[in-house]
Copies of this chain bind each other. A is one copy, B any other.
Amino acid sequence: MTDNYLNSWNETEIKKSITDFVTKVTAENSPGFIPVNERIAVFDNDGTLWTEQPLQVEIFYALYRMKILSGKDPSLKNTQPFKAFIEEDIKTLSTFGKKELLEIAFKSHDGKTPQEFYRNVKEFFENSVHPKFKFSYYNCAYKPQLELLDYLRANGFKIFIVSGGGLEFMRVVTEKIYEIPNERVIGSTTATEVVYDGTKPVINRLPQLSNFDDKEEKVLNIHHHIGGVPVLAFGNSDGDLSMLRYTLNSSEYNLALLLHHDDASREVAYDKDFVLSPLNEALKVSAAEGIRVVSMKNDWNEVF
């Protein structure tokens, strides 16, 4: 099934590699046939499914939340790194690494229970617009990628998000934006504990990162959570290289894709210079290792 899917993809080599792969693994009599249960596709989120520039959506959430928190505790306004968040000092924020920034962000991801946290995040999504694109964060997903998810679903693929982003943060919106249910979302986790309210177990969220789902950790989390090896993987940064290589080297028929943001006029052009999630090594090794590079500028006729 290719009809009426992938309309925002130009008729390039990349589109052909996707449709050829899907056709080959779904045709019953093809030597490359993969049973439905093994059609596992994994997607990074930030910069792969939705925009991550100038900062990841979750960092904008941390910024939003820190302003609220500093209203209650004004001393935060003069303490780094909170000061940089509160002043929306993107230049200073960009000097932190992704993990470091996520650790700081998780401290602002208050909400003692998952339910409180959910409400806080939901409120942010309902009431904010992206500072650069000026539309709702709900609309920050790339149209060609939404079409690709639909196309893969229609061809029997099980789609998982495997992202460095916060697990609970993503789950507030991943069903609505991508039609991916919670149990198919893998991400970085906050520490948690169970306390009892009478006989009721209540989950308490602790303001610290317990698992940073990046690089090799993505491979281990795919193993633990999914229990199978992906046949398709899509990423956009060096943090995704391990799962792209895992996909390429573990299954006989596979497709590993890497989105290159080279479209300054419609989105933004960046790769190795984006310190929060650089694309450097993955791009360098792509040709030699068979990772296909998707050019936003050339392969997509629409972005949002």
Contacts and interface: CB of A to CB of B under 8 A. Distances in A.
A102 to B, nearest CB: 17
Contact of A189 (B194, B224, B228, B285): B224
A228 B200 CA distance: 16
A175 interface: yes
Interface in A272-304: 285, 289
A192 B220 contact: yes
A30 B296 CA distance: 48
Interface residues of A, number: 37
Interface stretch (A11-19, A86-94, A180-188): A180-188
Contacts of A182: 226-228
Secondary structure of the A contact surface, majority rule: helix
A223 B183 CA distance: 9
Contacts of A226: 182-183
Interface stretch (A2-10, A146-154, A241-249, A259-267): A241-249
Contacts of A160: 183
A289 B219 contact: no
A68 interface: no
A226 B224 CA distance: 13
Nearest to A184: B183
A74 interface: no
Nearest to A170: B227
Nearest to A215: B194
A79 interface: no
Listed residue (A168, A181, A183, A189) with the most chain B CB atoms within 10 angstroms of its CB: A183
Interface string A191-205: 011100001110100
A52 B300 CA distance: 56
Contacts of A224: 167, 189, 192
Nearest to A167: B224
Interface in A100-153: 114
Contact of A223 (B185, B203, B225, B227): B203
20 contacts: A158-B183, A160-B183, A167-B224, A171-B227, A183-B183, A183-B227, A192-B220, A192-B223, A193-B220, A199-B245, A199-B285, A200-B245, A200-B249, A201-B216, A201-B219, A201-B245, A201-B246, A201-B249, A203-B220, A203-B223
Given A37-B175, A194-B219, A201-B219, 8 more contacts: A168-B227, A183-B184, A183-B227, A194-B216, A200-B245, A200-B249, A203-B223, A225-B225
- 4 closest cross-chain pairs (CB), A and B: A182-B227, A200-B249, A194-B216, A183-B226
